Each structure stands twice: as structure tokens, then as C-alpha cells.
Amino acid sequence: MTADLFEDTPPERMAQPMVPGAVLLQGFARDLQAALLTSFEEVIAQAPLRHLVTPGGYTMSVAMTNCGPLGWVSDRRGYRYQATDPLSNQPWPKMPGAWRELAARAAAAAGYAGFKPDACLVNSYQPGAKLSLHQDRDEIDMSAPIVSVSLGLPATFLFGTERRADKPQRFRLLSGDVVVWGGASRLAYHGIAQLPAGDHALTGARRINLTFRKAGDAA
């Protein structure tokens, strides 16, 4: 699909088509890993990681927080985006400029020019944590892609179709990898298989994921 576009890029910058509309950009954020983790620490100092409760009353194994104008939250009332952190009633921390630029560059490399995320969901997985198959469908504008940056321990990304019953494909995500999905794959079911134990040089026994979205309708 995108092979011609990337014929001059080194192997660590290869774009792997996953399904139509979805691309795995291996190593796209490799050079930024340390800087991303420094600003991750700043974000979670302002808006701590927490385990959200689903509307069904289940406590998620992944710890989450947000930065940017909007943040994704879940509680007994449902899933939604909101401009303030329910723990503090303060605005979410600012989205670091380097994060926004990385997300826009990755989106463009995957064929989605002009991506302007207004929400970054920050996920932290410890060994044993998983994220069940789900669609990202709480955003208003489905024409914008999702950009997902992996840091720390490797994980298995499950990526299916718009139908929950279809068996998902499995992709290994390493620290510095970026996945972009949109277009025909925007509503694909996806998730993270239970994280195996491990010790990563940058994050220890943890995988961090930054998921960039355009959640609101502001231009």
C-alpha cells in the first residue's frame, strides 16, 4: 500500500500496512523515547494515573490519565471526553508540543495529513494488565485518525475489523513504535493482550502508551 513512499527510509522507519487504513510505523518515535518519558513523568505528576471504573462496574487493569484540551474518562455513568480531570476538577495538563508534533508527523507518514489532536490518553500497563477488544467511538469527528505511541515493554496489539466477532490479527509493538489507524479502519476493534512480565531499560516493568485523538469538533 504505502511501500513506494518509504522505499528510501531505513528499515527502522519501515511502514507496515496492517489492514486498509492502518499502518504500523516501526521505530518512528525511537529517537524520542527518553524525551517522551520525561514529559510523561511531568504529565502524571499533575494528573496521576488511575484505574477507571467501567459503566458495568469493572475496574480497568490499565492505569490511565490524559493531557490536552480533552480527556477520556469512564465511570458508572458512561464513557466520555471532558475538559477537566475528575480527580481535581482542574483542566488536564497541557499536551506537550513535541507530543502533538510527533502525532501529526506520524499521521502524515501514514497518509493522514493535517491531524490536530485535542486529546491524548495516557495508558500504563503493568505485567498482567490488558485492554479488551473495543472500538474508539466516543470522538465526534471520525474522519480523523488515531495515533498510538508505544514505550517500554513489548506488547501484542490485537487489531480486527468493525465486527467484534472477527478474529483480530496480532502485531508486536516495541518501544518507539507508532500505530496509525483511520479511514476504513477507524472503527476497527482493537486491544492489548495481557502484558507479559519483563524489565525494560527505560520504563522498568511497564508499558506506556500515548493515544492521540481528535475528540471534539473544534477545527
70 touches 80 (CB < 8 A):
no
- Residues 58-117 within binding reach of ligand SIN (CB under 6 A): none
| Spatial CB neighbours of 124, under 8 Å, sequence gap ≥ 6 | 49, 62, 63, 64, 206, 207, 208, 209
Q: How many CB atoms lie within 10 A of CB 142?
A: 13
Is the Cβ of residue 123 or residue 175 nearer to Fe ion in the bound state?
123
- Residues 114-173 within binding reach of ligand SIN (CB under 6 A): 121, 123, 131, 148, 157
Nearest to 73 by CA among 41, 90, 51, 45: 51
Q: Tell whether residue 139 is a contact of Fe ion (CB under 5 A).
A: no
Is the Cβ of residue 85 or residue 136 nearer to Fe ion in the bound state?
136
98 touches 35 (CB < 8 A):
yes
Which of 104, 158, 180, 192 is the binder for ligand SIN (CB under 6 A)?
192
Q: Tell whether residue 136 is a contact of Fe ion (CB under 5 A).
A: yes
* Alpha carbon distance 19, 23 (integer Å): 7
To ligand SIN, the closest distance from the beta carbon of 22 in angstroms equals: 13
Stretch that binds Fe ion, among 5-13, 95-103, 129-137, 170-178 (CB under 5 A): 129-137
* Alpha carbon distance 196, 205 (integer Å): 9
Is the Cβ of residue 136 or residue 177 nearer to Fe ion in the bound state?
136
Give me the residues that bind ligand SIN (CB under 6 A), please. 121, 123, 131, 148, 157, 190, 192, 209, 211
